[in-house]
Chain A
Amino acid sequence: MKKMLAAIMAGVVAMVVLTGCTAPGEAKENERYRIGIVQPVDHPSLNRSRDSMVEELERLGMGDRIEITMQNANGDMSLLQSIMQNLIGERVDMIVAIATPAAQAALSSTSDIPIVFAAVSNPVEAGLVKDPSRPEGNVTGVSNSIPVEDIIELSKVLTPDVKTYGFLYNSSEINSAASIDNTKEYCDREGIPYREVSITSTADIQQAVSSLVGQVDALFTPNDNMVASAMATYSQVATEAGIPIYVGADSMVADGGLATVGIDYNLLGEQTGRMIARIIDGESIGENPVETVSEYANVINVGIADKLGVRIPEELQNDFVTVGK
């Protein structure tokens, strides 16, 4: 028991020393606005929105007025709380939370430090704000729900023969499941038949796609982080079977999807960066309603279109960026 107490005390002393030497001294000599950026895991789209957010802040001339601390939970959810407590202990002026769990962990840790979120699909359901047009507490941000209807409309133009859609997504991602719910609602309304398959790891993708081959004419996957990291497999199996994949993010088209009207994570980051800059310049959270991504990326992969024998109509050619030549 004595040993246990001693060890815990040693830890406590170490921490007091550590926190003691950073907190008060630094704040005085350093008048910069301090921002802590937190993301739960390293992921291409999350990293891209983070980087373009920082670039946008630089471009707006914030570079020498702000100091950014980046924190990453490395995929371990249990670390998010500690990360938030660390930032609060260091008295940052703002927390920027990328993705839903990070934003929730931020809000459960502080009710006075301003929190700006990015890449949250449904901030109301996530419990972050009650009314997106009038944020009352210390949270606002940019949400990124995808224009499901536009994607289905696009598929009707590109592949008019499609009757049944197959939805493939990761059931443990709230953003993905939310988009699928919207899509199902839309399809039910329009009387479009669909089948859905969910995966829980990238290892499941091949079998999940194979199980849909022969049953569906087109596949749809929203801005799903797990599927996005296994687009190569997904695309290979589906394209071989002659099935087009419509997706929810531009990077997923570049990696083998056929087309999207979806999230451009660079634009998402830039939009968040501009909101952060406004708040640094003195605007309050209440003056900044939750924004949704205002511009979408229209992208077609012509390489995949060739393989599938899909002809791209002329009226689309001006509006769409083409990749995959």
Chain B
Amino acid sequence: MTLLIGSIELGLLYGILALGVYITFRILNIPDLTVEGSFVLGMATTALFTQGGSPVLGLVAALVAGAAAGICTGLLQTKLMINPILSGIIVMTGLYTVNLGVMGGKANLSILGNETIFSILGNRTLLALAIAVSMALVAGIFFKTRTGLAIRGTGDNEEMIRASAFDADRMKCIALAMGNALVALSGGLIAQYQLFSDVGSGTGIVVIGLASVIIGEVLLGKRGVTFGLFTAIGGSIIYRVIIAFALKVDLFPPYALKLISAIVVMAALSGPYLKKTYRGRSRRDKRRMEAGGKGRLRIEPEGGKG
């Protein structure tokens, strides 16, 4: 039970990371690698403030710092015309030093014994749920505003947005700032949850974010942006539960953990497709038999909206 509740809590907190990745990867259509740096930036900033006794301010600072990192990547892309992936790599690389600097040159900053938002408010699960849901709601509402719609347009068809007299470069910067702010917030929350910040925590975090987004899409369905934001969080929870499952399987040596989680993720992702093809075929066969070989009688209206 501890593991299950813990996995859901971690899933919600890393779900905010997935929200950020969803915004850059799905809405803006840019695979943003800044995330590896901005996640730790959020951890480091929050840890510093938490040590000083202001955990809430620390989270606000994480949001601001993350947004600044995102704007850097945006400016490299739009003003200096550097390839989007490379822009992310450049900022991520630079952030390594910034992160160590924020932590006073130390690779690991402990906040054990300090007050955190989790210790102040008591219920970790409810708090994680409240923050994750409210972030998704705020982002969902934002993407329905004029600017939000312009950002979605930039991701879909940049030329069209430029032709409509929108500043596509600005839209990219805003989206990258938002995405990385959320990623840093997730880092900050994780730091307060695990009570330390370690400069090595960013390694592989992009993969975790992407995996959550895609697991969410495949298992929970694709429908509109607001729904998509919630599926990113859902995907993150499922990803953590999968890891919990891999941890439970103790038939294999401890170093097999990654392989087990890879196989379970693969099974989870391919499941719906295999089920659909299998079901689709059997239903068609049945219908063909009922119709006496005359084929399909009517075209079913396709469901789904933008």
Contact = CB atoms under 8 A, between A and B. Distances in A.
Interface of A: 1, 3-4, 7-8, 11-12, 14-16, 18-19, 22-23, 42, 69-83, 85-86, 88-89, 100-101, 104-105, 107-109, 125-128, 171-174, 176-177, 200
Contacts of B190: 78
Given A15-B3, A108-B112, A200-B96, A71 B234 contact: no
B258 A89 contact: no
Given A1-B227, A74-B258, A75-B203, A15 B241 contact: yes
Interface string B92-124: 000010001000011110111100000000000
Nearest to B196: A104
A14 B245 contact: yes
B4 interface: yes
B208 interface: yes
Interface residues of B, number: 55
A104 B110 contact: yes
Interface stretch (B26-34, B247-255, B289-297): B247-255
B194 A104 contact: yes
B23 interface: no
A83 B247 contact: yes
Nearest to A23: B1
Interface stretch (B6-14, B56-64, B73-81): B6-14
B105 A82 contact: no
B183 interface: no
Interface in B236-251: 237-238, 240-241, 243-245, 247-248, 250
A16 B219 CA distance: 20
A81 B6 contact: yes
A275 to B, nearest CB: 21
Nearest to B14: A78
A205 B227 CA distance: 47
Interface centre among B200, B234, B248, B258 (most CB of A within 10 A): B200
Given A42-B255, A128-B112, A86 B248 contact: yes
A7 B195 contact: no
A16 B260 CA distance: 20
Nearest to B259: A74
B274 to A, nearest CB: 16
Contact of B6 (A74, A82, A107, A174): A82
B205 interface: yes
B40 to A, nearest CB: 10
A80 B105 CA distance: 23
Given A78-B204, A107-B112, 17 more contacts: A4-B221, A4-B230, A4-B231, A12-B241, A69-B250, A70-B253, A72-B254, A72-B257, A77-B198, A77-B200, A78-B14, A78-B201, A82-B3, A85-B7, A86-B2, A88-B2, A125-B110
A129 B61 CA distance: 28
Contacts of A78: 10, 14, 190, 201, 204-205, 208
B199 A172 contact: yes
B60 to A, nearest CB: 22
Interface centre among A7, A74, A78 (most CB of B within 10 A): A78
Nearest to A40: B200
